[in-house]
Amino acid sequence: MINLENIIERLREIMEDEDDSQEQLREELNGYHVADLADIFQELKSEERLKCFKLLDVEKAADLMEYLPPQIQVELLSDIDEEMASKILTRLPHDAAADVLGDMEEDESETYLDRLPHKFSEEVRELLTYNEDTAGGIMNPVVLTVTSDMSVQDVLNHIRIKAEQDNMELYYVYVTDKQNHLLGVVSLRKLLTSPINQKVEDIMISDIVRLHVDDYSDYIIDEFMKYQYNALPVVDLYNRLKGMITWDDVHDLFEEETTEEIYQSSGISTEMVDEDEILSGSIVNALRARTPWLFITLLGEFVAVNVANHFDHTLNALPIIAIFMPLLAGLGGNIGTQSITLMVRGLSTGQVTLSSAVHHIVREAFIGMLIGGFFGILVTLVTWGWQHNIELGIVVGIAMIINMTMATIIGTFTPFALKSLNVDPAVASGPVIATTIDVIGLAVYFSLVSIFLVKVM
Amino acid sequence: MINLENIIERLREIMEDEDDSQEQLREELNGYHVADLADIFQELKSEERLKCFKLLDVEKAADLMEYLPPQIQVELLSDIDEEMASKILTRLPHDAAADVLGDMEEDESETYLDRLPHKFSEEVRELLTYNEDTAGGIMNPVVLTVTSDMSVQDVLNHIRIKAEQDNMELYYVYVTDKQNHLLGVVSLRKLLTSPINQKVEDIMISDIVRLHVDDYSDYIIDEFMKYQYNALPVVDLYNRLKGMITWDDVHDLFEEETTEEIYQSSGISTEMVDEDEILSGSIVNALRARTPWLFITLLGEFVAVNVANHFDHTLNALPIIAIFMPLLAGLGGNIGTQSITLMVRGLSTGQVTLSSAVHHIVREAFIGMLIGGFFGILVTLVTWGWQHNIELGIVVGIAMIINMTMATIIGTFTPFALKSLNVDPAVASGPVIATTIDVIGLAVYFSLVSIFLVKVM
C-alpha cells in the first residue's frame, strides 16, 4: 500500500527545488512500479506529468503507458517530441498501440503511423479496421506459433529467439500449419515437463476453445469466465490464427461490463452513450443517457396520477388517507427492487435459470408476504395509536401486505419474462417496475379505502 | 457455443436405453470440455448427475470438480464410494480440496482428511485454519521455489521433475533462501529467453508485489487489478513464502464482490448473511438480509407521513394536490438513484475521487436542474390542460424542479460524505437517500401549496 498524497507532496518539493533536481527526480520516479507510477501520474497536474514523463527512460515510459487511461496516454504522446513518441509506440504491444492511436484524431494517428516501422504500422493498421468491441479489436496479433513436426527442443530454441525479439506475451504456444490454420495448443507447463525430443503433435491439445475475430466483448468475457484460461486464440472465418486475447485485456472488459450492468439497473442507458462518457464527458451525453428512462417514469407516473384522480371522491371524503401514500409506495418500491436485483444478478451469473422461474416467484411472494405481514401489523398499530382510528389502521396495514407481496411478484416475474423474450433483463427493469408498483399499489390502496372506509364513515 | 438442452436430451435418451448404454454414455461424456460438462451437470437431476459422474475417469472427475459449485461438489463426493472420493480429492489443487472440505460438515471432512495421504492432508488442514476470505484461505500452498544460486538450466531441470509430480500451477518461479524467505521472482518467459548458464540471481526481480496471509479479499482484488499479474505470492509476517494466488481464484472473488456491491446498492445487506445464501438458502437468511434496510425505510417513511400530516389543513382545503405526490416522489427518487449509482460506482473504480467532490456535486446539480426544468414545464402544461388550473400546474412544476435538483445534490453529496467518514458508500446509500428525498420533497411541495394555493383560493 503506498501513500499517494505523501509521494506527490515529495515529488512537488523536488520539482520546485531548482538546483540539480532533475537527477533526483529521475531517481525517485524510477524507484516505483509502473502501476504505482500510473496512480501517481493521474493525480499530478498536466505540466507536472509531462515533466516527470520526459525523465523516464523509453522502456519504463512504454510500460507505464499501458496502465494509464486513454486521455492521459494521448495527452502525453502529443506533448513530447515525435521521435520519443514513436519510440514509445513501437515498444508497446500491438493492441495497446492500436488503442492509443484509435483514441487520437485521425490525422494525428496517421502522422504517427507513417513514422513507425513498416511491419509494425501495417499490423496496427489492420487492428484498427476491426470494431473495438470485438475480438479483432481487442486481440494482440503477435503470437508465438510453431509447427506440429517440431520437437520440444526446437520449440524451446524458437522461443528463445522469437519471444525476446518481439516483446511477446507468452502463455501458450499455438500450433499452426503453413497456411496459418490453428491446429492445436501447448501450454508452457506441458512444454517444460515433456521430454525434449518429443514431437509437438504428441503433446498438443487439438480440441481448442477459440474466439472469432467478430465475437463481441460480452461473449469473450463469458468464454474466459467459463474456461478460466489465461489466454484464448482468435481466428478468422477460415480458422486462420489472427491473434490472441489475454486475461488482462478481459479484466478491462469485465470492469466495463459490470459498470454497464450497474448503470442500467438504475435507469442510466448505455445504449447510445459510451459508459465512460456519462460521468465526466459533455453534459449533452449525460442528458442523453439519463433522460430516456426518466421520461418513461414520467409517463408511468402520469398513469399513477390518473389512478389517484379516479378516486378523487374518496380523497375529498377523507383527505387524511393521502398521508400514507409515500409510506406504501416507498416500501413497495424497495422490496420490489430487492427482488429485481436478486433475479437480474442471478440470471447474469447463472445462479438463476429460466427453468427455476416458478420456484423463485413463489419463494419471493412468500418472503413478500412475511415481511409485508410483519410491517402491516406494525403500521396498523402505529396508525391506531397515533390517529386513534383502528379502521384506518387496518386498511393501511392490509394495503401494506398486498403492496409488498405484489411488489415481490412483479419484481421477480418481469426479469424472467424479459429474459424469455431474449431482452436483457438488466435494461429497463428498475424504473419500469417501480412505476408499475406505484400504479397498482395506489389502485389497491384507494380501492380498499373506498370499500371499507368512505362507506362506513 | 454449445446447445445445453439438446445435449441433455441426448444424454437422457442414452441413459434410458437399457442395453450397453454405459459405454456409449462414457464416450459421450468424455468428449466434452470439463467447463461444458460442469454446465451440463448443473442442469441434470441429482441421480442422473451421480450416474454420469461415476463413469468419468478420476483425472477428468477431479478437473470437473473445480468448475462445479460447492453444493454439487459436496453432494457428488458424499454419494460416490469413499475410495474414489479420496482419489479425486488428492488430485485437486490444495486450495480447491480445502474449499470442498471446508463446505462439508466437520465430522465428514475429518473422515476424508484421515484417509488422504499424510502430507497432503496436513497442508490442507493448515489451509483450513485461515479465514476463507483472506489470502491464507484462498492461496494454493504448492509453489515452485528455487534458490538464487541455481542456473537457468538447473531451474529448467527442477521444473521438469517437480511441476509434473506435484500437479503444480506454473506462472512464475519464486526464489527463496533456505528458511523459505521470499527473495525474488522469475517469469517463465524470462527463464525461456535467458542463456541457460545464467544465474537466477542475475535475472530475478527482487522488488516483488506480495500479499500477506491475512489480507482480505477486497485488497487482493485491488492488487490484482492494479498490477495485472497472473499470480501473486503470499507470505507470512516474516516474509516466508506460504503460497500463491492465481487469476482464476481472483475471478471468483471478483464476481462475489460485484454481487455484494449490486446487492448493497438495492438495500440487501451482506453483512450478516453470506451473499450466496440470500437467493436460495433458508428463508430465515433471506429475511435477515432483506429486512434491516426495509425497516429503516419504514422509519424514514413514518417521518414522511408525519410531514404530510403536518400539512393536514392544506390537504383538507385542497385534496386534489395529493394525486401529484407519487409523480414527484417517483421522479425525485429515480434521478437521485442515478446520481448515487454514478458516484458509488465511480468511487469504487477510482474514476471519481474525493478531491473532485465539489466538481461532481455542481455538475449533478446542474443536470438535475436542466432535466427538472424540462420535466417541470411539461408537468405544468399537462396539469394546466387537464385540470384547467394554471396555478396548480405552476406549483407542481416548480416542486418538480426543486425536487429533482435537490435529489441529485443529495444523491451526489451522500456517497462522498460516507466515503470521507471511511464508511463504504455502497452500503445504505440507496434506501436512506430515497427516503430522505421523499421527506424533503414532500415538505417542499406542501409548503409551496400552502403558500401559493391554499391562500389564494
Instruction: Please give, rounded to a whole number of angstroms, the shortest distance from the CA of A353 to a CA of chain B.
Output: 9
Q: Determine how β-strand A231-235 pairs with β-strand A241-246.
A: antiparallel
Instruction: List the B182-187 sheet strands across, edge first.
Output: B145-146, B172-176, B182-187
Dist. CA A364–CA A335, nearest whole Å? 10
- For B166-246, where are the alpha helices, taking DSSP H only? 188-193, 200-203, 217-227
Instruction: Please give, rounded to a whole number of angstroms, the shortest distance from the CA of A114 to a CA of chain B.
Output: 31
pLDDT digits (tens, 9 = 90+) for B214-250: 999 889 998 988 888 889 999 999 999 999 998 888 8
Dist. CA B25–CA B14, nearest whole Å? 6
Of A193, A261, A334, the CB nearest to B297: A334
Which residues on chain A are in Cβ contact (under 8 Å) with B416? none
CB contact at 8 A, A419 and A326:
no
Query: What local confidence, expressed as pLDDT, does residue A192 receive?
Result: 87
Running DSSP on this structure, what letter comes out for residue B450? I
Dist. CA B279–CA A454, nearest whole Å? 41
CB spacing of B312 vs A297 below 8 angstroms: no
Task: Dump the DSSP string for B26-76.
Answer: HHHHHTS-HHHHHHHHHHS-HHHHHHHHHHS-HHHHHHHHTTS-HHHHHHH
Question: What would the mean pLDDT of B35-60 be, rounded to a whole number?
Answer: 87
Q: Which of A42, A44, A227, A247 to mutate to test the interface with B (most CBs of B within 10 A)?
A: A247
Instruction: Please give, rounded to a whole number of angstroms, the shortest distance from the CA of B178 to a CA of chain A.
Output: 25
Which positions ≥6 away from A131 have C-beta within 8 Å?
A137, A214
Dist. CA B174–CA B414, nearest whole Å? 45
**Sign of the dihedral defined by the CA atoms of residues A48, A52, A53, A54, in that order:** positive
Of A294, A319, A330, the CB nearest to B319: A319
pLDDT digits (tens, 9 = 90+) for A300-338: 889 999 998 899 888 888 888 889 998 999 899 889 989
If one counts every other C-beta atom within 10 angstroms of the C-beta of residue A10, the result is 11
pLDDT digits (tens, 9 = 90+) for B16-46: 876 667 888 888 888 888 888 888 888 888 8
CB contact at 8 A, A104 and A70:
no
How is residue B159 written as a grid cell? 521444473
Helical pair A46-55 and A4-16, crossing angle rounded to 10 deg: 80
Dist. CA B388–CA B390, nearest whole Å? 6
CB spacing of A262 vs B345 below 8 angstroms: yes
Question: What would the mean pLDDT of B375-395 be, rounded to a whole number?
Answer: 90
| Confidence band, pLDDT 50/70/90 cuts, at residue A455 | low
CB spacing of B170 vs A192 below 8 angstroms: yes
Instruction: Please give, rounded to a whole number of angstroms, the shortest distance from the CA of A117 to a CA of chain B.
Output: 24
Which residues on chain B are in Cβ contact (under 8 Å) with A324? 305
Q: What's at A364, amino acid-wise?
A: E
Question: What would the mean pLDDT of B269-276 be, rounded to a whole number?
Answer: 80
Buried b (16+ CB within 10 A) or exposed e, A151-169: bbebbbebbeebbeeeebb
Query: What local confidence, expressed as pLDDT, does residue B269 receive?
Result: 85
CB contact at 8 A, B136 and B234:
yes
Which residues on chain A are in Cβ contact (under 8 Å) with B345? 259, 262-263
Q: Is A359 exposed, middle or buried (0-12, 13-18, 19+ CB in 10 A)?
A: exposed
Task: Dump the DSSP string for A213-280.
Answer: TT-BHHHHHHHHHHH--SEEEEE-TT-BEEEEEEHHHHHHHHHHHHHHHHHHHTT---SSS-GGGTTT
CB spacing of B326 vs A442 below 8 angstroms: yes
Instruction: Please give, rounded to a whole number of angstroms, the shortest distance from the CA of B346 to a CA of chain A.
Output: 8
Dist. CA A46–CA A54, nearest whole Å? 13
* Least confident span in A250-254, A443-447, B155-159, B364-368: A250-254
Query: What local confidence, expressed as pLDDT, does residue A160 receive?
Result: 85
CB spacing of A262 vs B341 below 8 angstroms: yes
* Least confident span in B1-15, B55-69, B433-447: B1-15
Dist. CA A421–CA B123, nearest whole Å? 50
Query: What local confidence, expressed as pLDDT, does residue A242 receive?
Result: 94
Instruction: List the A145-146 sheet strands across, edge first.
Output: A145-146, A172-176, A182-187
Query: What local confidence, expressed as pLDDT, does residue B111 receive?
Result: 84
- For B94-240, where are the alpha helices, taking DSSP H only? 94-102, 106-115, 118-129, 135-138, 152-165, 188-193, 200-203, 217-227
Of B294, B338, B349, the CB nearest to A266: B338
Q: Determine how β-strand A231-235 pairs with β-strand A211-212.
A: parallel
Of A279, A309, A345, the CB nearest to B262: A345
Instruction: Please give, rounded to a whole number of angstroms, the shortest distance from the CA of A34 to a CA of chain B.
Output: 8
How is residue B105 written as a grid cell? 460438515
Distance in Å from the first CA to the final CA of chain A:
69
Q: Which residue of B has its CA nearest to A64?
A: B227
Question: Is residue A229 predicted with pLDDT exceeding 70?
Answer: yes
Inter-chain contacts counted by CB atoms under 8 A, chains A and B? 269
Instruction: Please give, rounded to a whole number of angstroms, the shortest distance from the CA of A329 to a CA of chain B.
Output: 8
CB contact at 8 A, A245 and A183:
no
CB contact at 8 A, A257 and A276:
no
Dist. CA A36–CA A38, nearest whole Å? 5
| Confidence band, pLDDT 50/70/90 cuts, at residue A429 | low
CB spacing of B247 vs A230 below 8 angstroms: yes
pLDDT digits (tens, 9 = 90+) for A52-88: 898 888 888 888 988 888 788 888 888 888 888 888 8
Secondary structure class of A18 (helix, strand, coil):
coil
Of B228, B315, B329, the CB nearest to A319: B315
To which residue does cell 506480495 refer? B210
Dist. CA A16–CA B363, nearest whole Å? 33
Q: Which residue of A has its CA nearest to B263?
A: A341
Query: What local confidence, expressed as pLDDT, does residue A361 receive?
Result: 94
Q: Which residue of B has its CA nearest to A345?
A: B259
CB spacing of A294 vs B371 below 8 angstroms: yes
Instruction: Please give, rounded to a whole number of angstroms, the shortest distance from the CA of A58 to a CA of chain B.
Output: 19
In degrees rounded to 5, what are phi and psi of residue B57? -80, 160
Summary mean pLDDT of chain B: 87
Which positions ≥6 away from A286 have C-beta within 8 Å?
A273, A278, A279, B367
If one counts every other C-beta atom within 10 angstroms of the C-beta of residue B236, the result is 16
Question: What would the mean pLDDT of B116-141 be, rounded to a whole number?
Answer: 88
CB spacing of B382 vs A302 below 8 angstroms: yes
Question: Is residue B456 predicted with pLDDT exceeding 70?
Answer: no
Which residues on chain A are in Cβ contact (under 8 Å) with B144? none
CB spacing of A366 vs B283 below 8 angstroms: yes
Question: Is residue A233 predicted with pLDDT exceeding 70?
Answer: yes
Of B225, B248, B290, the CB nearest to A228: B248
Residue bearing the bigger pLDDT, B20 or A207: A207
Which residues on chain B are in Cβ contact (under 8 Å) with A268? 338, 341-342
Question: Is residue A349 predicted with pLDDT exceeding 90?
Answer: no
Give the pTM.
Answer: 0.78
Task: Dump the DSSP string for B399-445.
Answer: HHHHHHHHHHHHHHHHHHHHHHTT--TTTTHHHHHHHHHHHHHHHHH
CB spacing of A35 vs B340 below 8 angstroms: no
CB spacing of A163 vs B255 below 8 angstroms: no
Report how many helices (DSSP H) and strands (DSSP E) chain A contains, helices first: 23, 6
Instruction: Please give, rounded to a whole number of angstroms, the shortest distance from the CA of B328 to a CA of chain A.
Output: 9
The ipTM estimated for the assembled molecules is: 0.78
Of A305, A337, A382, the CB nearest to B266: A337
Which residues on chain B are in Cβ contact (under 8 Å) with A430? 337
Question: What would the mean pLDDT of B114-133 be, rounded to a whole number?
Answer: 86
Nearest by Cα to B182 from B137, B124, B131, B242: B242
CB spacing of B326 vs A329 below 8 angstroms: yes
| Confidence band, pLDDT 50/70/90 cuts, at residue A379 | very high
| Confidence band, pLDDT 50/70/90 cuts, at residue B167 | low
Which residues on chain B are in Cβ contact (under 8 Å) with A287? 367, 370-371
SS3 content of chain B, % helix, strand, coil (to 5): 70, 5, 20
Of B298, B300, B342, the CB nearest to A375: B298
Which residues on chain A are in Cβ contact (under 8 Å) with B160? 192-193
CB spacing of A330 vs B326 below 8 angstroms: no
Secondary structure class of A148 (helix, strand, coil):
coil
